[in-house]
Structure 1
Amino acid sequence: MAISSGCSKVRSALVMLAVAALTVVGAVTVVAKTTTAEAAAGILAAGVEDDGADCPVPNAPQTSNSRLPDPFRKIDGTRISSKSDWRCRRAEIRELAERTVYGQKPAKPATVSGTVSSSSITVNVSDQGRSASFSASVQLPSGTGPFPAVVVVGGFGADTATIRSAGVAVINYDPLAVGREGTPRNNKQGAFYSIYGASSSTGILMAWAWGVSRIIDVIEQSGGNIIKADAMGVTGCSRYGKGAFTIGVFDQRIALTMPVESGSGGVGAFRAIAGESGAQPLSSAYSEQPWLGDAFSSFTGSPNTLPIDTHQMVGMIAPRGLFIMDNPSIDWLGARSGSVAALGGAEVYKALGAGDNITYWSDVQDGTHCAVRPEWRTPMQQFLQKFLLKTGNAAGTMRISSRKAGNLAEWRDWQTPTLADGPTTPPTNPPTTPPTTGPTTPPTTPPTTRPPTTPPAGGACSATVSINQWTGGFVATVRVTAGSAPVSGWTVSVTLPSGATISNAWNTNRSGNTGAVQFTNVSFNGNIAAGQSTEFGFQSSGTGAGMAPTCAAR
């Protein structure tokens, strides 16, 4: 059986003008605004969302291989020999990933507009005769901008205090406004599906990635007076870590990708997940939420027939910055498979002369899911400086826990080539086939919050909270669920434990920081359909044990 062709985007010759030269000293760099030092280090993002959009991608025969596919072998069976060859090889991997794992990511819509302020970003999109809007909140660091920024998926990822103290802004992105969880595959909801159809076979991880790409479009159009479009990062934990990984893979304008504990459907190699004891099975990851594309259903029981695996998606981020944070204490997260994928993807980084641009770190003591860990603080600061602030050049590292250590030698039957430097050769026959829709794959990480098993009564709402506690503080994620009738606004009341003080909140307005606090919806998450949910969160000092939120519809 052949996997059908059809490029995921309308290939544009204009892309070639943006990437006229790829080869620099020891690394491949695809950039728009580049200084000599930055180019030599190979650390910047591309100036376009997909720099290989003009590369033709042929049909791929479906075969079975229990080892990780060779990232350097093209669909026609030949292996790449120069660094310039990677651009179109990467385009092949991207296309295969869309067809079999994630689903199609449409090209930039016909119209994208919006605003950027010191507190928010608004996005308005029109395409194919349909329109949708969403927004994100902004938290600037101290100092004078414009600032680099990290998109925090779901407001929940790497330590935002460390990010802001480094002089980097935080963009709190509500992915559920773009691709809602808790929906059936044939009736997906959110801004993405308002435009591309509720029955789209694209999974919500790719929808989330599309949403961040539109945020970057708006930042680019804003003139960069507040946020720098060429110094963007992304992070997220658990299922939001799956989202952060997908976002970094599929938009080359992301300079630094930082997924945390992403589990099955995230960084973890599909082939390895299938055999890792205690890891969330691929079938479970696919069915838990429509995170992955519909087409992945064909591979949940036979990952060996996938033409790609996640080590190649790791390689798709090269030579840009990648900091993968993993947790060996929770079997469900499949950290051994995560290390396998990281080690395999690191071979692409090495071949491109960018081996210093990737870090994988699972050697941690605190086993709490999505905890803020001291072991990650210094390497994160170094990568923020290197890829976003462009003031450092620290080398990445592999710190793999002995409890969940993968052995790449067991998973590959290929060797990493020595790629020659050389000019990029434009493809001679850009495809003209209109885009087709591909599949997606669900994440396997346990969600941070689960909805109530019984929806609240009509006209009412309910709230549940999950806590990620560390020494001296915690993050709370609160899920608000409508009853049998929709709500057009909500208020959640929470009494904080003694000594707890809120320092940060996202996707909500709040009445105070201590004691009895009321949280109310913001403009984009007040309307909740019957039986559906939205989430907000906050960070606090102290302990979060014993909180019992209540919800009132407005």
Structure 2
Amino acid sequence: MLDGSRITKKSEWACRRAEIKAQIEEYESGPKPAVSKDDVTGDFSGNKLTVGVNEGSKSVSFSIDINRPAGAPSAPIPLLISLYGFGSVTLDASVFSQNGVATALFNNNDMGAQGGGGTRGTGIFYDLYGKDHPASSMIAWAWGISRIIDALEKTPSANIDPRRIAVTGCSRDGKGALTAGAFDERIVLTIPQESGAGGSASWRVSQAAKDAGENVQTLSHAAGEQPWFRESFGSTFGNKVTTLPFDHHMVMGLVAPRALLVVDNRIDWLGIDSTFTAGSIAHAIWEGLGVPDRMAYSQLGGHEHCQFPAQQRAILEAYVKKFLVGGGTDDTNLLESDGAKADLSRWMTWTPPNLQ
């Protein structure tokens, strides 16, 4: 699945990374507009951060509440931003509060609606750029998170360290969390949970599983469900996923060499084998970069969608301590599945290079 052995140097990976990002924007996500920090404002009052963005004669604003854990120092501390348009935030909150991490809920639906195909072009992002802007709702969400970071960099009174930002979300919001982490290198820890099609699943592997009779979401279905992708994505690639010049192991790879923890469930629709396969191949990118401990994939079944089982708490806390708070020493190099199979002889016919 998309040969990665041609790359031999870290400098070549940087160039390839830029190419992959451009391909994703062109074919799947739509473009993420760049914004000058001079056009972003931040105001912090109480526990509310208000973000303002100017674009020509237009301007928009939105706010998030930042909750500091009890006993947190007044000095800048890390922040977890949770997308919650799906209606739930499910990671174990105690992992963050007990480790001195602030939390904020980001209503991504307000930034870019996901109420069916008819809501394309609706939300704060499109109020600024126009309802016909080709960016998908997930790019709109990622754009909003980037503006939060911009505002935090300009608002020291918030007492948040903008160099220690994590992002998470579950289900459709997990797709958005991965997109945010892939498209902003200031995010040091990305935690997509049960993100499925358009997230941690592989378009190619899911389609092959569907063709073999499995009940798994495919590109053609996901592209028509919500405006998560650019409008042309489904019509162009829905029936020919093998012509797509990238797959989602490469989307995950855009996070490298920063930290990525993929949390998955054993649910057919999400792609049990597809997500484990994509996660296993993505891990090879971190291996090639010499930092395999910065990427983990953990799949565990036996619980409802977007519930967080206690058995996954240890790997979550290990990632929070090592990559968000700093100073953690537990092993974070993990690839574990709940009976899922990664047929790498079929999908990964290349050997990860040792990048120099």
CA distance in 1, matches of 2:276, 2:17: 21
Q: Percent identity?
A: 36
The equivalences for 1:424-463 within 5 A come to: none
Match of 1:153 among 69, 83, 91: 83
Q: Tell me the equivalent position of 2:249.
A: 311
CA distance in 2, matches of 1:273, 1:117: 46
TM, length-normalised to structure 2: 0.92
Match of 1:271 among 188, 197, 204: 204
Aligned CA distance change for structure 1 residues 186 and 365 (closer, same or farther; 3 Å)? closer
Matched, 1:188 2:121: yes
Alpha-carbon shift at residue 209 of structure 1 (Å): 0.4
Q: Tell me the equivalent position of 1:415.
A: 351
Checking the alignment, whether the CA contact within 8 Å between 1:357 and 1:395 is kept in structure 2 is no
Deviations 1:289-339 (A, max 9, x none): 1011123121122110001111111111111111101001x2111131111
Runs of 5+ unmatched residues, structure 2: none
Match of 2:237 among 295, 299, 302: 299
- For the residue of structure 1 that corresponds to 2:91, the secondary structure is coil
Checking the alignment, whether the CA contact within 8 Å between 1:318 and 1:349 is kept in structure 2 is yes
- For the residue of structure 2 that corresponds to 1:101, the secondary structure is helix
CA distance in 1, matches of 2:158, 2:15: 34
CA distance in 2, matches of 1:320, 1:333: 25
Checking the alignment, whether the CA contact within 8 Å between 2:120 and 2:137 is kept in structure 1 is no
Q: Tell me the equivalent position of 1:356.
A: 293
CA distance in 1, matches of 2:198, 2:298: 19
Q: Say what the alpha-carbon RMSD is for the aligned residues.
A: 1.7
CA distance in 2, matches of 1:98, 1:157: 29
Q: Tell me the equivalent position of 1:537.
A: none
Q: Tell me the equivalent position of 1:290.
A: 227
Matched, 1:116 2:34: no
Alpha-carbon shift at residue 216 of structure 1 (Å): 0.3
Deviations 1:497-549 (A, max 9, x none): xxxxxxxxxxxxxxxxxxxxxxxxxxxxxxxxxxxxxxxxxxxxxxxxxxxxx
Q: How many residues align?
A: 345
**Aligned letter for 2:7?**
I
- For the residue of structure 1 that corresponds to 2:12, the secondary structure is helix
TM, length-normalised to structure 1: 0.60
Q: Tell me the equivalent position of 1:428.
A: none
CA distance in 2, matches of 1:118, 1:326: 36
CA distance in 1, matches of 2:290, 2:335: 20
Alpha-carbon shift at residue 283 of structure 1 (Å): 1.6
Checking the alignment, whether the CA contact within 8 Å between 1:156 and 1:240 is kept in structure 2 is no
- For the residue of structure 2 that corresponds to 1:368, the secondary structure is coil
Alpha-carbon shift at residue 71 of structure 1 (Å): 3.6
Match of 2:259 among 311, 321, 325: 321
Matched, 1:87 2:14: yes
CA distance in 1, matches of 2:285, 2:321: 23
CA distance in 1, matches of 2:246, 2:157: 37
Alpha-carbon shift at residue 218 of structure 1 (Å): 0.3
**Aligned letter for 1:295?**
S
Alpha-carbon shift at residue 284 of structure 1 (Å): 1.6
- For the residue of structure 2 that corresponds to 1:136, the secondary structure is strand
Alpha-carbon shift at residue 221 of structure 1 (Å): 0.8
Match of 2:304 among 363, 368, 372: 368
Q: Tell me the equivalent position of 2:323.
A: 387
Q: Tell me the equivalent position of 1:343.
A: 280
Checking the alignment, whether the CA contact within 8 Å between 2:172 and 2:195 is kept in structure 1 is yes
CA distance in 1, matches of 2:99, 2:341: 31
Could you say which structure has the higher strand fraction?
A: 1
Alpha-carbon shift at residue 349 of structure 1 (Å): 0.3
**Aligned letter for 2:79?**
A
Deviations 1:25-49 (A, max 9, x none): xxxxxxxxxxxxxxxxxxxxxxxxx
Deviations 1:248-300 (A, max 9, x none): 11111010000100011111011111122111122221111101112312112
CA distance in 2, matches of 1:159, 1:108: 34
- For the residue of structure 2 that corresponds to 1:324, the secondary structure is strand
**Aligned letter for 1:149?**
L
Alpha-carbon shift at residue 135 of structure 1 (Å): 1.1
Could you say which structure has the higher helix fraction?
A: 2
CA distance in 2, matches of 1:185, 1:365: 34
Alpha-carbon shift at residue 186 of structure 1 (Å): 8.0
